[in-house]
Amino acid sequence: MSSSSPTPAKAAKPVAIAQILFSQGFGTRRHCAALVEHGLVSVAGELVEDPRQAFDTAGLVFEVEGQAWPYHEKALILLHKPAGYECSRKPSHHPSVFSLLPEPLRNRDIQPVGRLDEDTTGLLLLTDDGPLQHKLTSPKYHVPKLYQASCKAELDEGQLRRLVEGVLLEERNPKLAEEPVRAVSAERLPDGRLQMALTEGRYHQAKRMVAAVGNRVLALHRQRIGALDLPAELPSGGWIWLDEHQRELAMTDPASASGSA
């Protein structure tokens, strides 16, 4: 019997530049071809003149009208959401968070990973990676989201304990109304604000939980998803691409991450 060695993985087939532009949200196929034909696209400082010219997409950075764009098969964006924006492509009363992104990203089918209320600020992920979005939002994966809340009054130890032990919320679904919701942790920060980690994503959950213990949220901010923190240097309204390491951090329990460090 002859032994067989593993078959090496095939290299990705080079892709035509017009198709690359189309996949990255730069418009229709015809418009993307026109961008190339009008001398508006370059790779590694060299003008691309043929829409059919193919490139390896691994690590590819191209320029459109002088703006550098990294190729991402699946987009994963971190946005520092300001107050006054809705997490919807069809907002009702306020501007959409998508208006804070450049047009190519708006053209891609990216969706918020769990919505933040109009008046809630902080870390918002957006992606067109369906399996990743499911892992980050489904309660069965227990990905904690860390919130900081300014409340009408400082929460006392009894209120903090109740948040962790579980409170009942009014729900349209009778089964949900009978299931206590619990914070993974709840503590009072030195400035008096509440810091609370949640793994579920019920409607207005943080605000309703605080109301259930006899208090009221005045301002709410999301600081962390998994072990991924909102970068301190990212201004309100700013956004960044996330790399593979940051993607993994978003799916990591910060307790296990610190325990293995």
Assign 3-state DSSP to the chain and report helix, strand, coil percentages, each to 5.
25, 25, 50
C-alpha distances out from residue 120 to 94, 147, 213, 214, 252, Å: 13, 10, 20, 20, 23
Q: How far apart are the first and last CA of the chain?
A: 46
Cα–Cα distance measured from residue 242 to residue 248, given in angstroms and rounded to the nearest whole number: 10
Joined tokens for residue 215: 């208090």
The catalytic residues are 117
Residue 151 one-letter amino acid:
C
Q: Which of 92, 91, 83, 107 is nearest to 24 (CA)?
A: 107
Cα–Cα distance measured from residue 192 to residue 187, given in angstroms and rounded to the nearest whole number: 9
